[in-house]
Chain A
């Protein structure tokens, strides 16, 4: 928000600081999910034991956001409603099917992550609504997860990136797969096609690579000073394969009792 004001890109007549509403911040354990207040600092989430145990991919994603001084002030809700397509947190929310609790005077509603991000820097929030909290499902203790991205410098917005979460069955085949990409379309995007292709597969390098290529079908990458559209599309498949490999590996280690 403040960079937008400093650059005079936004000139609001009235600015309301939500920092004074303490009930908007905090991390709570709820049945099968972790509820996080919209005003919870990124650095608080990064350090939270509850998050590191129950939803470790979220804690891992924090380390990619800006720098420590940014994460001390940056909030989960701020990052989600800003909806930068190259940001990590919207993709994590989308991959995990997080639920967005939003409120306006007298009326509350829940928006699933899939419907929350509607366009470039645009969400399903109405002008008189605020995001109150986000519910992240608790991952199974055996889930494997990974976030891979390309950025010019650590902490920069990603040129392209992907979040992958994988579960294996007792035979070592893929039981569940979640793939969400960022930096490669006007919003973060799920690749259901690649996810479906993975189910029941033996997770060897070939299978993962073949599925990863399928993510390109849903992409409409922008071209800008940092990368061409084609480069982003190519990178998305490579990064997806890399993230899937790492997630599968982690899943195997976590399944060993």
Chain B
């Protein structure tokens, strides 16, 4: 058996130390060692987008990264998203938006969709429907048909703009 590696990762602004086999994926580390099971594993080959998290502020597939590659780096998962919203609010506007517009059904793809949309809204506060669709083309949803997902992102964009205007 391969020797384990000590790693130190900041996840959702909290520092974690771990001892992992080099072959362990970041997704497995988040789920199995840290218990952050909000990051979902669908295809485990980078196609479905369910496991999308932010790695130093950029979206990545956590199934396509090894936990050892995240040593010393900063990760944001779905569990940390609410804290990036308005202080005192239970949910991030993206999460609230998906509730308002019924942007999810089974919910399996939702964490990855929200992380992808979070990056988009950070870059572009007023994305068009086409821009949202193109950005989300790497996140597969088998339930919704995407209409309400797009509506949820638009809802969030509007509310985030209103918040920053105030």
Residues of A participating in the B interface, judged by any CB pair closer than 8 Å = 2-3, 5-7, 15, 17, 19, 43, 66-70, 72-73, 153-155
Q: How far is the CB of A17 from chain B (nearest CB, A)?
A: 6
- Complex CA–CA separation, A43 to B52 (angstroms): 16
Q: 9 extra interchain contacts, Cβ-Cβ under 8 A, other than A72-B59, A73-B61?
A: A2-B65, A6-B25, A67-B138, A68-B59, A68-B116, A69-B61, A69-B116, A70-B138, A73-B65
Query: Which among A3, A5, A17, A69 has the highest number of chain B CB atoms within 10 Å?
Result: A69
* With contact pairs A6-B45, A68-B138, A70-B138 given, residues A15 and B63 touching in the complex (Cβ less than 8 Å): no
Residue B31 interfacial (CB < 8 Å)? no
Q: Which residue of A lies closest to B51 (CB)?
A: A69
Residues of B within 8 A of A154 (CB): 134, 137
Counting chain B residues whose Cβ lies within 8 A of the other chain, the interface size class is: 20 to 34
- Complex CA–CA separation, A6 to B22 (angstroms): 13
Closest 5 CB pairs of A and B: A67-B138, A69-B59, A3-B45, A2-B64, A72-B58
- Complex CA–CA separation, A72 to B69 (angstroms): 14
24 contacts between A and B (CB under 8 A): A3-B45, A6-B44, A6-B45, A6-B64, A15-B22, A66-B46, A67-B135, A67-B137, A67-B138, A68-B59, A68-B116, A68-B119, A69-B49, A69-B58, A69-B59, A69-B60, A69-B138, A70-B46, A70-B61, A72-B58, A72-B59, A73-B61, A73-B64, A155-B138
Residues of B within 8 A of A153 (CB): 137
Kindly identify, within residues 96 to 150 of chain B, every residue whose CB is under 8 Å from any CB belonging to chain A.
116, 119, 134-135, 137-138
Q: Are B46 and A2 in contact (CB under 8 A)?
A: yes
- Complex CA–CA separation, A3 to B64 (angstroms): 7
- Residue in contact with B69 in the complex, picked from A6, A19, A155, CB distance below 8 Å: A19
Q: How many pairs of residues, A versus B, come closer than 8 Å at their CB atoms?
A: 58
Residues of B within 8 A of A2 (CB): 25, 46, 63-66
Residue B4 interfacial (CB < 8 Å)? no
- Residue in contact with B135 in the complex, picked from A3, A68, A73, CB distance below 8 Å: A68
Q: How far is the CB of A240 from chain B (nearest CB, A)?
A: 25
- Complex CA–CA separation, A3 to B44 (angstroms): 7
Residues of B within 8 A of A70 (CB): 46, 61, 138
Residue B23 interfacial (CB < 8 Å)? yes
Residues of B within 8 A of A43 (CB): 58
Residues of B within 8 A of A15 (CB): 22
- Complex CA–CA separation, A2 to B47 (angstroms): 12
- Complex CA–CA separation, A17 to B137 (angstroms): 29
- Complex CA–CA separation, A72 to B64 (angstroms): 12
Q: How far is the CB of A220 from chain B (nearest CB, A)?
A: 28
- Complex CA–CA separation, A171 to B58 (angstroms): 48
Residues of A within 8 A of B65 (CB): 2, 73
Q: Are B138 and A7 in contact (CB under 8 A)?
A: no
Q: Which residue of A lies closest to B112 (CB)?
A: A69
- Complex CA–CA separation, A153 to B69 (angstroms): 30
* With contact pairs A2-B63, A72-B58, A73-B64 given, residues A67 and B49 touching in the complex (Cβ less than 8 Å): yes
Q: How far is the CB of A254 from chain B (nearest CB, A)?
A: 26
